Chain A
Amino acid sequence: GESVGLHLPTLSVQEGDNSIINCAYSNSASDYFIWYKQESGKGPQFIIDIRSNMDKRQGQRVTVLLNKTVKHLSLQIAATQPGDSAVYFCAETASGGSYIPTFGRGTSLIVHP
């Protein structure tokens, strides 16, 4: 099975709400995590990353939380906008070696105006 997975394949929210997308990982050696956003018919784009020496990192309207104890990662989007509608992937990797990033299945975020 996949070492990285998502709890909810589809998330529907109203414009202005906050969104939370979850991700579980199983490789204890993973120490670098990235969230990507993929719009329909396009390649994924980097949103935010976090290293294992942190448990929280904030960007513009986005926050990533890392819980190494339960191997869980989440992406929080504040004041969700229609332009946030996309598929979101988390990826895990490990530094110091040739561990290639592993992607989860993705969560489709649908934002209703």
Chain B
Amino acid sequence: DGGITQSPKYLFRKEGQNVTLSCEQNLNHDAMYWYRQDPGQGLRLIYYSQIVNDFQKGDIAEGYSVSREKKESFPLTVTSAQKNPTAFYLCATSWGATGELFFGEGSRLTVL
């Protein structure tokens, strides 16, 4: 089936540890995005990539890093520099830069 797969769905991390969230898609979409969602809040853009081997910072990139070595994959690393990493993380894709976004099911990260 075509779609976007995020893993893990739930993740617990100790303070000071880096963690990587996976996002894989088989929709053949060029653009991929990472959003952060806090309770009662909208979606805030962390990073996006419109093409392989290129990515751009979003509104809240500090403390996060990404790579886009393959069209299908856009992993997000939450580093120890991120002061408040507990949140729901959503990966999305689109055909182009400004089209409809298709979302994964999300990864919930909790820092203990």
Q: A residues touching B (Cβ–Cβ < 8 Å)?
A: 2, 9, 32, 34, 36, 41-46, 49, 89, 91, 93-101, 103-106
Contact = CB atoms under 8 A, between A and B. Distances in A.
B1 interface: no
B48 A100 contact: yes
Contacts of B108: 41
Contacts of A103: 35, 42-43
A43 B98 contact: no
Contacts of A49: 100
Question: Looking at B42, B50, B105, which has the most chain A CB atoms within 10 Å of its CB?
Answer: B42
A41 B105 CA distance: 8
Interface residues on B, range: 20 to 34
Interface centre among A43, A89, A100 (most CB of B within 10 A): A43
B98 A105 contact: no
B63 interface: no
A95 B106 contact: no
Contacts of B48: 100
A9, A46, A91, A98 — most chain B CB neighbours (10 Å) = A98
A36 to B, nearest CB: 8
B19 interface: no
B97 to A, nearest CB: 5
Interface in B93-112: 97-98, 100-106, 108
A44 B98 contact: no
A104 B98 CA distance: 16
Given A43-B4, A100-B58, 8 more contacts: A32-B98, A43-B92, A43-B104, A46-B100, A89-B43, A96-B98, A97-B98, A98-B98
B57 to A, nearest CB: 11
